[in-house]
Amino acid sequence: MKPPKDASSASKSLDPRTELVTSGRDTMAQKGFVNPPIVRGSTVLYPTAEDLHAHRGEFQYGRHGTPTTKALQEALMALEGPQCAGVGLTPSGVSAISTALLAVLAAGDHLLVIDSVYRPTRNFCDGLLKRFGIETTYFDPSIGVGIEALFKANTKAVLVEAPGSQSFEMPDIPAIAAVAHRKNALVIDDNTWATPFFHRSLDQGVDISLQAATKYIGGHSDIMFGTISANAQAWPVISEAIRLLGVCAGPDDVFLALRGLRTLAVRLAHHQQSGLEIARWLAERPEVLRVLHPALEDDPGHAIWKRDFTGASGLFSVVLKPAPQQAVDAFLDTVKLFGMGYSWGGYESLVIPFDCTEYRSATKWNPGGPTLRLHIGLEHVEDLKADLAAGFAAFNAAAAK
């Protein structure tokens, strides 16, 4: 019998949508099965004393990798593009962020972080990094090349997030990266919102691209997972830190991340389309002051988004006209298809109220009304609009009381 063809051996320069399906698949090593096995393993046995002494063999120890992790790493490398020299797998998005920062920083260093950063990232910088003698300065997301003024002799890294996952400001990453590289600092990007499918950050001057794969990569709200992708310059320190810190991800989660990755393109296309349709619908609602979505033509971040991104995911925010808290709560309690919860990127729609005023330090957050963040899932868009309309009816009734 002829062996099955190996999909990953197809000709190079495939479309990313094809790469998502074919990469990381070693069909013959999987005895013909389409997907890799879930390898649970700590011990890896060596056949001879000579092999043992030479540490010979593709896999050495469970923590350092298995056939399952290898399949996911290869698939992620293909998605990240030609600049990617390696991908580390971590047990959560936050652990990807903390591992990357610990990898590139040392006592006495200075770090620049975007003011719109994911709040637990800020807590890590202001907590553990501060305790280890690393100073953090936060910067205005719209700073661009003006970031040069914030560099000190000991600035070693710049951390960006595009867009901010609550407030949706869009930083100019290539401009920031150009300054950082002139100053010999590394650029780290939390690329969770767009994923490498819509934003190839390593092609835009980023050295280390992070994902909370908990979100769109997993795609089903059923795993906690993180990834650290690095270019050739940054990969040695990242892989060293992963080894020294003992970071590794559980085999079931690795498998589910890979399974999620296979359908990422179709899911994101749907999230994008429904997300934009609802964003435009919300912008016309009388209760709405502003929609914060970089793919909308009148958004302040639109030009940068259009230049640097190939798409938008399903997460955005809306600023309501000033209203009492009980009106907002009536909205939240009335919508049924929009669950109230924090981790997004799954197939289901979500809504949460948020308030950035509590923690901003480099900029003032003055939205002008109550703010809600929406995740648009894979439900039918007309059902979602009807649900939101019911929420607004309850909102107006409560506001009139």
Ligand X SMILES: *Cc1c(COP(=O)(O)O)cnc(C)c1O
Catalytic member of 156, 215, 262, 290: 215
Tokens at 312, concatenated: 């938008």
Minimum distance, C-beta of residue 178 to ligand X, in the bound complex (Å):
24
Tokens of 397: 């009734």
Tell the smallest beta-carbon distance from residue 96 to ligand X (Å).
Answer: 8
Q: Which of 63, 285, 360, 385 is catalytic?
A: 63
Q: Is 390 helix (H, G, I), strand (E, B) or coil?
A: helix
> Could you tell me if 21 and 75 are in contact, meaning their C-beta atoms sit under 8 angstroms apart?
no
Residues of this chain that bind ligand X (CB under 6 A): 92-94, 118, 161, 165, 190, 192, 212, 214-215, 224, 226, 343
Give me the helix-helix angle, 251-262 and 264-283, nearest 10°.
70
Alpha-carbon span 354 to 87, nearest angstrom: 32
- CA gap 244, 247 in Å, rounded: 8
CA 299 to chain centre: 21
Minimum Å gap between C-beta 90 and ligand X is: 9
CB of 11 vs ligand X, minimal distance in Å? 35
* 235 contact partners, CB below 8 Å, separation of at least 6: 85, 86
What contacts 139, CB < 8 A, 6 or more positions away? 112, 113, 114, 115, 147, 150, 362
Q: For residues 223 and 398, which CB has a smaller minimum distance to ligand X in the complex?
A: 223
Q: In the chain, what is the greatest distance between 2 CA atoms, to the nearest angstrom? A: 82
CA-CA distances (angstroms) from residue 16 to 77, 103, 199, 201, 321?
11, 29, 12, 14, 41
195 versus 334: smaller Cβ distance to ligand X: 195
- Tell me, yes or no, if 387 is annotated catalytic: no
Q: How far is the CB of 354 from ligand X (least distance, A)?
A: 12
Backbone angles phi, psi at 122, to 5 degrees: -60, -40
Q: Single out the catalytic residue among 25, 109, 115, 118.
A: 118
Position of minimal CB gap to ligand X = 93
Cβ distance to ligand X smaller for residue 128 or 145: 128
Least distance (Å) between residue 220 CB and ligand X: 14
Distance of alpha carbon 25 from alpha carbon 163, whole angstroms: 32
Q: Is 63 a catalytic residue?
A: yes
216 flagged as catalytic: no
Q: Tokens at residue 157, please?
A: 């890294």
Q: For this structure, is 342 an active site residue? A: no
CB-neighbour burial class of residue 344 (10 A; exposed 0-12, middle 13-18, buried 19+):
buried
The catalytic residues are 63, 118, 190, 215
